[in-house]
Chain A
Amino acid sequence: MSYTVEEKKQGIKIHYIQDKKYKTNLITMFITNPLNEQTVTKNALITSILRMGTKNINTQEEINKKLENMYGAEFNCGVEKLGDNQLLKFYIEVLNDEFVPEKKKLLKESLDLLFEIAFNPLVEEDGFKKDYMITEKNSLKQLIESRPNSKDQYAFERCIEHMYKGSSYSIFKYGKVEDLENINEKELYTYYKQMIEEAKIDIYISGDYDLEEIKNIVSNNENMQNLNSREPKYVVGNEQGGSSPKESPDKIEDKMDVTQGKLVIGLNIENGSPEKMYEMAMYNVILGGSATSKLFQNVREKASLAYTARSVYVRQKDTIFIRCGIEIDNYDKAVEIINQQLEDMKNGIITDEEINSSKNTMITSVKTIQDEQDTQITYFIGKELSNEKPDFEAYIDGINSVTKEKIVQVANSIKTNTIYFLTNA
């Protein structure tokens, strides 16, 4: 694998990841904006509108015909939330020409198509096409309203909302239904033009190709040439904060027609910092990040209370979320066992086996990043937005340097902020 970054213009970076082992080339573009209430719904709506048609390819039907003819190239776009940023994400996955039964230049076609969709929209009277606004507002409204369909995810997001009330991290990535009524095609298009001139743009091209050839294709693309340099604005790590430790945790309950209760516990890590990333990550793996973790062993295997019992570490926000699906009547028991695990870690009840096992788990997962194109790109953009360079060796060294003392220090800087429970009526 070789990785080359080219800053095309200030604020616009092309990341070339060359690797011979794939059958496909994957292009992913991120347009990054700080998450905020004023623009969140607009950005989500923009990705929906853009995929409906471009100046030269007017309809979604035609875009899809084109993708089909490119031997099933897969395109999609949408929004992602990464820390306090909202990312507009566009991608095309396409067969490498070597595996196509006829002579084609599919990577070039894909790059051109991706830029065309993102930067050359179909415009009517200084606005996005009216018909597309109607269907896509409706489509986004449905998407926002469908949130409670996935009970686990809903519980998770509700806990985040409470814990980060009033700060940008609480914002739902697709925005709010109320905003939609006030957005019209002209205003949205005006906002879009400004946004693509100001936002940070990162384009990742992963696969087996000739570097010079692809650099030329990117340079010669008219839509790319039309973009100007910019001062990119994005939120690095936890600089915005948004949730402070509480003396005693808030207990929140929502009621819904569920068979199983969904328990989510939000934890603050006090004085978290990028330097402590390795010990915080390892704390999480020992707590609930693998099959040998304390939560899996004690909530599931020993007490038989749950099928899923795990924790996730959100690096950008110095926070950990514990997530379990439990029998509703077992709420008190589950919370008690979970608290006991947090307490045990504070008291240094952590074995060498647990530490070694979590090191192995983390080292394997960082090494396997390089075996999947989309995983690698996701990892790289995370690094990019933390102003760090991806360095697998340094990561492995960092993990190996973590000691039990450091993990216990992290444990003692953890405070439960919110205990959220989705239960039945």
Chain B
Amino acid sequence: MQIIENRNVKEKLYIEKLKNGLTVMVLPKKDMQKKFVIWSTNYGSIDNKFIIPGEDQITEVPDGVAHFLEHKLFEQENGTNSLDTLTAIGVNANAYTTNDHTAYLFEGIENFYPALDALMDYVQHPYFTDENVEKEKGIIGQEIMMYDDYPEWVVYMNAVKAMYKVNPINIDITGTVETISKIDKNILYKCYNTFYNPSNMIMFICGEFEPEEIIKYVEEHLISDENIGEIKRIYENEPDEIVKPIIKAKMEVSMPMFIIGIKDKIDFGNEDIVKKHMAIEILLNILLGKSSKLYKELYEQMLIKEEFGADYEFSKTYAHVVITGESDSPEEVLKRINEKIEELKKTGINEEEFISSRNMIYGTYVKEYNSISDISKMFISDYFRGINSFDYIENCFTITKEYVEQILKDVFDPNKTVLSIVS
């Protein structure tokens, strides 16, 4: 077993890779009443074209299968629903699907082991029938329509569509009413059998535990499964260029909402993504954070509302910056941001602003360690991007001003910038 200690946040991580390929991570948290388990497979909405180990032909499935599977796994052959089983014993169970992983989780205080049994049981026992698959289409249809009414979601998805030509993050995680109509039990079983192999999965456990004990318990409750080997995923080559610089949609909103997207290129495995991620966060704070001149100007001129923020999003197959806000003239906001970027490229970054922004970023990462659910979700999503979450805290103070200035030149390219507006 591998043990990694982080002295800054005073936490220890225990990592074990079991024989069947499953990775188990435990972060013991004393004094917390709650315990948290998340079991996740490296299978998300972007995995719709792949080669099943042992086959030669490409399998292609409709959009929305990973999310559909997440809904259906709870249903059991004896007619029970595992979500009910877990709720009835007093734990909070849930599941979610992202573009690169699907996760099943629960948190609770009493009945931890019965709940873990139930979780491990349902994730390992799919039961799909024509009837239960059809029934779910109505529920997921309503989930899709719910998102269609969120202007924040529409403006975001449009920005992604304007940036990406072929990368399947440009499709909704849920699929569409049309694509899910094509999903049947055979497709679900095929995808389940491919992606829910232990070698493609990780379990993260947080709370007051003895790591050895809990890992042994998990191992004993796994249905002994062979490691089926690598799943070849087919992702088309995404061009560097954006699809279109501006995209607009009409919805009932009080003020236009906008997202500025800056498409980046990820060189997975060949760059220090943790440092790059933090450098971009530092840059975004210097550029348009609440202590920046630009924010002050835009706010005073009533060009932006108070909620105005930015983020760097990435996985193994994509990376981009998103800047989110509301404005009566999003084009003007974009123009001013671009001018500021060009100015910073010429003048370089102010040393004092760099130091305080770096301190701030450090603080935000330490704060994550307050909540066992935040810790667990963070480690899981970082794991699928090849990152150990501790690395953020370890590396924060190794970032230099010069490095940040280099990243500014590399990433903030006006030719790779899109503007999505909902008004």
Co-assembled chains A and B: yes
Spell out A's residues near B (CB within 8 Å): 19-24, 59-61, 64-65, 67-73, 93, 95, 99, 101, 131, 135, 138-139, 142-143, 145-151, 256-260, 290-292, 297, 300-301, 304-308, 325-327, 353, 356-357, 359-361, 363-364, 367-368, 370-373
In the complex, which residues of chain B have a beta carbon less than 8 angstroms from the beta carbon of A70? 363
Check B364 against A364 for contact (C-beta < 8 Å): no
The docked-state distance in angstroms from the alpha carbon of A73 to that of B356 is: 11
On whether the beta carbons of B149 and A71 are closer than 8 Å, the reply is no
Q: Tell whether, in the assembled complex, residue B254 and residue A146 are in contact, meaning their CB atoms are under 8 Å apart.
A: yes
Residues of B contacting A61 in the complex (Cβ-Cβ under 8 angstroms) = 290-293, 295-296
Nearest residue, chain A, Cβ from B84: A292
Known contacts A21-B32, A60-B296, A305-B138; A69/B146 CB under 8 A: no
Please tell me which one of the listed residues B8, B91, B137, B290 contacts residue A364 in the complex, with CB atoms under 8 A apart.
B91
B88-115 interface (Cβ within 8 A of A) = 88-93, 107-111
Instruction: Tell yes or no: B17 within 8 A of A by CB.
Output: no
Chain A positions within 8 Å of B135 at CB level? 304
Q: Which residues of A contact B397 (CB under 8 A)?
A: 101
Q: Is B116 an interface residue (CB 8 A)?
A: no
Asked whether, in the complex, the Cβ of A363 is within 8 Å of the Cβ of B90, the reply is yes
What distance in Å separates the Cβ of B142 from its nearest Cβ neighbour in chain A? 4
Given contacts A24-B367, A360-B90, are A371 and B372 in contact (CB under 8 A)?
yes
Min distance, Cβ A103 to any Cβ of chain B, angstroms: 14
- A256, B254: Cα distance in complex, Å: 13
Given contacts A135-B300, A307-B142, A353-B88, contact A257 B32 (CB under 8 A): no
Near A by CB (< 8 A), chain B positions 331-386 give 356-357, 359-364, 366-367, 369-372
Q: Are B291 and A291 in contact (CB under 8 A)?
A: no
> How far, in angstroms, from A131 to B33 measured CA to CA in the complex?
49
Distance A257 CA – B254 CA, assembled complex (angstroms): 13
Size bin of chain B's contact surface: 35 or more
Which residues of the other chain, A, contact B356 by a CB distance below 8 angstroms? 65, 68-69
What would 19 A/B residue contacts be, using CB atoms closer than 8 Å?
Answer: A23-B370, A24-B367, A61-B291, A61-B293, A64-B291, A69-B356, A72-B362, A99-B8, A135-B300, A139-B306, A142-B305, A291-B83, A307-B139, A307-B143, A327-B141, A356-B88, A361-B90, A371-B32, A372-B371
CA distance A349 to B390 in the complex (A): 52
Enumerate the 9 nearest inter-chain pairs by beta-carbon distance, A residue then B residue, closest first. A360-B90, A72-B363, A304-B138, A71-B363, A72-B360, A64-B291, A357-B88, A307-B143, A260-B145
**Given A71-B362, A368-B34, 15 other A-B residues pairs in contact with their CB atoms under 8 A:** A23-B366, A68-B291, A68-B360, A69-B359, A72-B364, A135-B299, A290-B87, A304-B135, A357-B88, A359-B90, A360-B88, A360-B89, A363-B110, A370-B33, A371-B372
* Interface pair A148/B93, CB less than 8 Å apart: no
Is there contact, CB below 8 Å, between B146 and A260?
Answer: yes
| 8 A Cβ contacts from B288-311 to A | 289-293, 295-296, 299-300, 302, 305-306
Query: With an 8 A cutoff between CB atoms, is B187 at the interface?
Result: no
CB distance from B214 to the nearest CB of A (A): 19
